[in-house]
Structure formats: structure tokens, C-alpha cells
Structure 1
Amino acid sequence: MKRFIGFIKKEFYHIFRDRRSLFILFGMPIAQILLFGFAITNEINNVDIAILDHSKDATTKEIINKMASSKYFSIHQFIEKESDIEAVFKKGKVKAVLNFEKGFSENLIKENYANIQVITDATDPNTANTISNYVNAILQNYLKEQNKSSVQVYQIVPQTHMVYNPELKSVYMFVPGVMTIILMLVSAMMTSISITREKELGTMEILLVSPLKPIQVIVGKVFPYIFLSIINAIVIIVLSIFIFKMPVQGSLFLLGMESVLFIITALALGILISTISATQQTAMMISLMGLMLPVILLSGFIFPITSMPLPLQIISNIIPAKWFIIIIKGIMLKGVGLQYVWKETLILLGMAVFFIGLSVKKYKIRLE
């Protein structure tokens, strides 16, 4: 019995001395519960909206102020004409436009009702529905306050219009997200084991004594996987169009180029994981567990980023999938060109260069 107790004590000592085991035991559950707890929410907060006020009277100003004072909406801009609505949505920042009819206050007093058009970006159907419901609730609350002090019963009739996805098909949201996750995880996992495989097979020494420079080794490891991942991307896009009836409103060429850029970024991230990992098992764990949760939760694929706490919003900016989802939704659903997604494109390009550069640096350290 004493031997058994001694053996158990020894195992405890081994676990407490191994920082990686302690991190997996205690760090990962804490990080995951915090991530899930804050990221997973059906509520919306601080959603950017635009205002098109044809009336510009006291009543519309009161309603706009009520919208702005709520925690749900933030007035991003005021627009002057209906032709500006499409351009505002294509920029991707604004998720809804409130369009007040001309003579809003006058109609409310004389006719006892007035119309307001609620135009939402339905590329994310769940968020669009939630925005519409929240606007409705704020309007009803405003009417309740007004009708308390009035003999007449006023009515404001919101007319909801969903753009880009009027039928609110969920496939329009899931296909871009699933495509991003598949390309990210498959590409990163393929390259994450490339250098670690050399270490485990004992062929790393051949690379170390070869005349190839570190940058040549890194690019050489990535290059073959680019073609394989491009074939993967083509298959996904073809299935999306012909099986799931996903529209492509924009340029197929631009969609292809952006997909290649994202693939290179994901492969570069995978090769970075490979340079810092000692074994294939470690590399697979980092690429699978370390990338899957952030890609699903912090990319804006399922849950709106604006509703998350500020620290998570900041962290989401270093997730390549976030920027690719913005690009792919813009091209496929909104039909935008490079002039609307150039910023996201430059961010992905910068990430790819950074990951490759860091991989070369880490590889050099191992050479010394």
C-alpha cells in the first residue's frame, strides 16, 4: 500500500512539474468557459446603423435619440438620399438603415400613424432579425410613452426590408463561414506537420546541411500545398453554387484571388506552428484546438463581434478568418469589388508576410 501511495505521489509531482499538463488541466477549461461565456450570445450591442430622415422634425429626432441612447444601436452616419443606402451597406460597417418618411410628425398627428422603413443587411439572417425586433421594441416603447399623455392613439408602422437575403436563407450565412473554417483548418493542419515530420523521421539533418536558405525551405514547404488547397477551394465554391444555390454577385476572379490569399495566410500560419512544435502530435493539437475555437467564435461567423466585450473585439482583429468572411460575404452576396474590400485584403496580405517572416526567424534559431 505504501508503494502504491508513493507511486501516486510521484505522478502528482510529475504533473505539477509539467507546465503544459497544468495548462491543459486548468488553463484550457478556464479560457474556454470565458470565451464561450462572453462570445456566445444572441443579443446585439452597439450595432452601427444609418439614418435617412426625410422629415427632420421633432418626432424623428426624438426617435433617433432614443435609438442612440439604447445600448443596442450606435448611429454611424446620416445619409441624405435613398441611392446612398446600397453604398453604405457595401462598405460593410452599417447593419441597418432607418428610413423616415417625409412629413413623419405631420402624418402621426393628422392620420394617427406614420411609416418607418427598417432596411437590414441580411447576409447574417439571425442578426438582421434581431435588429428588426429591437427596433420594433424601441418604437413600441416610444409609442407607449406618447400615448400616455395623449387622447389619440398614435401608431408607427415599421416596414422591414431585408437586403441581399430577403428570404433569410441560413445557407447564405453558413456557407461562407464553413468554407472559411475548412480552408483555415485543413491548410494550417497540412503545413503544421511538415517540418515536425522531418524532425521525427530524422531527415531534418539533411535540410540543416543543405545549401538551401531558411526562406527557401519555408516557401518550398508551403508551395505544393497551395495548389492542393486551391483545388479544395474550387471544390467548395462549386458545391456552394450548384448544391446549396449560393449566389455569386461579384467577380469570380476576385473571389478566387482572395481565396488564394487566404489559403497562403493559413498555410503560413501552419508552417509557423510547425517551426515552433517539437512533434507532429503537438503541431496537430495546436492547429486543431488552438485555431478551431477562435475561428468559430471570434470570426463573426455565427456570433456578432460587436456584441462581444471590447477585449474579445480587439482579439478578433488578429483572426485571419474574420477578414476573409467579410471579403467573401461582400463578393458573393453584395457583389462588391476590390474598392470595398481593399483594407481587409491588405490585412490578410500583411498577416501572410508576418507569419512567413516569423517562421523564417524561428527556423534560423533552430539552425544555430
Structure 2
Amino acid sequence: MKRFIGFIKKEFYHIFRDKRSLFILFGMPIAQILLFGFAITNEINNVDIAILDHSKDVTTKEIIHKISASNYFSIHQFLEKESDIESVFKKGKVKAVLNFEKDFSKNLIKNNHSTIQVITDATDPNTANTISNYVNAILQSYLKEQNNNSTMAYQITPQTHMVYNPELKSVYMFVPGVMTIILMLVSAMMTSISITREKELGTMEILLVSPLKPFQVIIGKVFPYIFLSIINAVIIIVLSIFIFKMPVQGSLFLLGVESVIFIITSLALGILISTISATQQTAMMISLMGLMLPVILLSGFIFPVSSMPVPLQVISNIIPAKWFIIIIKGIMLKGVGLQFIWKETLILLGMTVFFIGLSIKKYKIRLE
């Protein structure tokens, strides 16, 4: 019995001395419960909206103030004309536009009825529906206050208009996200495992003493995954067009170029993971836990980033998938060109350079 107890103590010592085991046992559950608790929500907070006020009277100012005072919306911009609506949506920041009709207050007093057009970006249909419902609730609250102080029953009718996805098809949201996850996992995880396998088996030293230079060895290991990832991207796009009837409003060439940029970014991240992983198992754990969960939760794939706590919004900026999802939704659903997504493209390119630079700095080969 003493030997058995001694064996158990030894196992505890091994676990407590292994920082990676402790991190998996305690760090991962804490990180996951915090991520799931704060990131997964059906509510919206601080969603950026724009205002187009044709009337600019006392009533519209009161409604705008009431909407701005809520925690649900943040007024990002005031528009001057209706032609600005499409442009502001294509930039991707604004999720809804409230369009007040001309003579809003006059119509409300004279006819007891006015209209507000609620235009939402339905590339994320769940968020678009929630925005519409929240705006309607705020308007009903305002009307209740006004009707309590008046003998006349005023009525404000919100006319909801969903752009880019009027039928609110969920596939329009899931296809870009699934494409991002697949490309990230195939590129980053498989690359990191492939390079780590050579280190683990001891064959990396053999490759390094061959006539090939170290960077040629890495490129040779990475190139097949570039090819395979491009094939995956083509298959996903073809399936989304012909099976799910998802439109591609923008340039297919631009979509292809941006996909290749994201693939290269993911490959660079995979190379970085391989520099800090001693075994294939470690590389797989880092890739799955460190990449898949953030891609699903913090990239804006399913849950709006603006509704998350500020620290998670900041963290989301370092996740390449967030920027690629913005790019792919813009090209496929909004038909935008490079002039609207150049910032996101530069961010991905900058991340690629950073990952490669850090990998070169951290990569140490020891011949033993």
C-alpha cells in the first residue's frame, strides 16, 4: 500500500512540476469559461449606427438622444444624404442606419403618425434582427412617455429594411466563418505539426545538413499546404455558390488574392507555433485550443465583437480571422473593392511579416 501511495505522490509531483500540464488542467478551463461567459451572448451593446435626419427638429433630436443614451447603440456618424448609406455600410463599421423622414415632428403632431426607416446590415442576420427589435423597443418607450403627457395618441412606425441579405439566410453568415476556420486549421495546424514532426523524430538535423538551405527546407515543408489550402478555398466557394446559392457580388480575383494572403498569414502562424512546440501533441494542442476557440468566439464569426467587454475587443484585434471575415463578407456580400478593405489587407500582411520575423528570431536548431 505504501508503494502505491508513493507512486501516486510521484505522479502528483510530475504534474505539479510540469507547467504545461498545470496550464492545461487549470488555465484552459478558466480561460474557456471566461471566453464563453463574456463572448457568447444574444444581446448587443455599443453597436455603431449612423443617423440620417431629414427633419432635424425637436422630436428627432429627443429620439436620437434616447437611442444614444442607451447602452445598446453608439452613434458613429451623422449622414447628410441617402447616397451616403451604401458607402457607410461598405466600410463595415456601421451596422444600422436610422433614416428619419422629412417633417417628422410636423407629421407626428398633424397626422399623429411618423415613420423611421431602420436599415440594417444583414450580413449577420441575428444581429440585424436584434438591432431592429431594440430600436422598436426604444421607440415604444419614447411613445409611451409622450402619450402619457398628451391627449392625442402619437404613433411612430419603424420600417425595417435589411440590406445584403434581405431573406436573412444564416448560410450567408456561416460560409465565410467556416471558410476561415478551415483555412486557419489546415494552414496553421498542419504546418506546425509537420515541422514539429521533423524536430521530434530528429530528421530536421538531417535536412539541415543536406545541400538545401534552412529557409528552403521550411518553404518546402510549407508549400504543399499553400496548394492544399487554395484547393480547399476553391471548393468552399464553389459549394457556397452552387449549393447554398450564396452570391459573390465582388471580384472573384480579389477574393482569391485575399484568400491567398490569409493562407500565408496562417502558415506563418503555424511556423511560429512549431518554434515553441517540442512535440506534435503540443503543436496540436496549441493550434486547437489557441486558434480554434478564438476564431469561433472572438473573430465576429457568430457573436458581434462590439457587444463583448473592451478587453476582449482589444484581444480580437490580434486574431487574423477577424480581419479576413470582414474582407470576405465585404467582397462576397457587399461587392466592395480594395478601396474599402485595404486597411484589413495591410493588417494581414503586417501580421504575416511579424509572425515570420518572430519565427526566425525564435527558431533555434541544435545539432546534438
What is the CA distance between 1:195 and its match in structure 2? 1.8
Q: What's 2:163 paired with?
A: 163
Q: Which moved more, 1:199-208 or 1:163-172?
A: 199-208
Verify the 8 A CA contact 2:116 2:157 in the aligned structure 1.
yes
Q: What's 2:114 paired with?
A: 114
What is the CA distance between 1:255 and its match in structure 2? 0.3
What is the CA distance between 1:354 and its match in structure 2? 1.2
What is the CA distance between 1:15 and its match in structure 2? 1.4
Hey, what's the Cα distance between the residues in 2 that align with 1:227 and 1:23?
Answer: 35
Q: Which moved more, 1:112-121 or 1:16-25?
A: 16-25
Q: What's 1:204 paired with?
A: 204
Q: Which moved more, 1:90-99 or 1:17-26?
A: 17-26
Hey, what's the Cα distance between the residues in 2 that align with 1:347 and 1:275?
Answer: 23
CA RMSD of aligned residues (A): 1.4
Three-state SS of the structure 1 residue aligned to 2:363 is helix
What is the CA distance between 1:258 and its match in structure 2? 0.3
Q: What's 1:345 paired with?
A: 345
Q: What's 1:67 paired with?
A: 67
Q: What's 2:274 paired with?
A: 274
5 Å-filtered alignment, 1:170-181, equals: 170-181=170-181
Deviation per CA, 1:316-368, whole angstroms, max 9, x where unpaired?
Answer: 00100000000000000000000000000000011111111222222246579
Q: Does 1:2 align with 2:2?
A: yes
Verify the 8 A CA contact 1:214 1:364 in the aligned structure 2.
no
Hey, what's the Cα distance between the residues in 1 that align with 2:10 and 2:106?
Answer: 83
Hey, what's the Cα distance between the residues in 2 that align with 1:86 and 1:354?
Answer: 34
What is the CA distance between 1:220 and its match in structure 2? 3.0
What is the CA distance between 1:201 and its match in structure 2? 2.7
Q: What's 2:27 paired with?
A: 27
Verify the 8 A CA contact 1:214 1:363 in the aligned structure 2.
no
**1:68 and 1:257, CA in 2 relative to 1: closer, same or farther beyond 3 A?**
same
What is the CA distance between 1:207 and its match in structure 2? 2.8
Verify the 8 A CA contact 1:123 1:173 in the aligned structure 2.
yes
Hey, what's the Cα distance between the residues in 1 that align with 2:106 and 2:7?
Answer: 85
Verify the 8 A CA contact 1:54 1:103 in the aligned structure 2.
yes
Q: What's 1:239 paired with?
A: 239
What is the CA distance between 1:198 and its match in structure 2? 1.2
The TM-score, its normalising length taken from structure 2, stands at 0.97
What is the CA distance between 1:212 and its match in structure 2? 4.3
Deviation per CA, 1:218-263, whole angstroms, max 9, x where unpaired?
Answer: 3332222211111111111111111111100000000000000001
Q: What's 1:229 paired with?
A: 229
Q: Which consecutive unaligned segments of at least 5 residues does structure 2 have?
A: none
**1:367 and 1:85, CA in 2 relative to 1: closer, same or farther beyond 3 A?**
farther
Deviation per CA, 1:124-145, whole angstroms, max 9, x where unpaired?
Answer: 0000000000000000000001
Deviation per CA, 1:47-79, whole angstroms, max 9, x where unpaired?
Answer: 010000000000000000011111000111111
What is the CA distance between 1:200 and its match in structure 2? 2.6
Verify the 8 A CA contact 2:186 2:225 in the aligned structure 1.
no
Q: What's 1:358 paired with?
A: 358
Q: Which moved more, 1:119-128 or 1:18-27?
A: 18-27
Deviation per CA, 1:250-281, whole angstroms, max 9, x where unpaired?
Answer: 00000000000001111111111112211111
5 Å-filtered alignment, 1:41-80, equals: 41-80=41-80
Q: What's 1:312 paired with?
A: 312
Hey, what's the Cα distance between the residues in 1 that align with 2:346 and 2:15?
Answer: 44
Hey, what's the Cα distance between the residues in 2 that align with 1:116 and 1:350?
Answer: 42
Q: What's 1:265 paired with?
A: 265
Q: Does 1:334 align with 2:330?
A: no
Q: Which consecutive unaligned segments of at least 5 residues does structure 1 have?
A: none
Q: What's 2:287 paired with?
A: 287
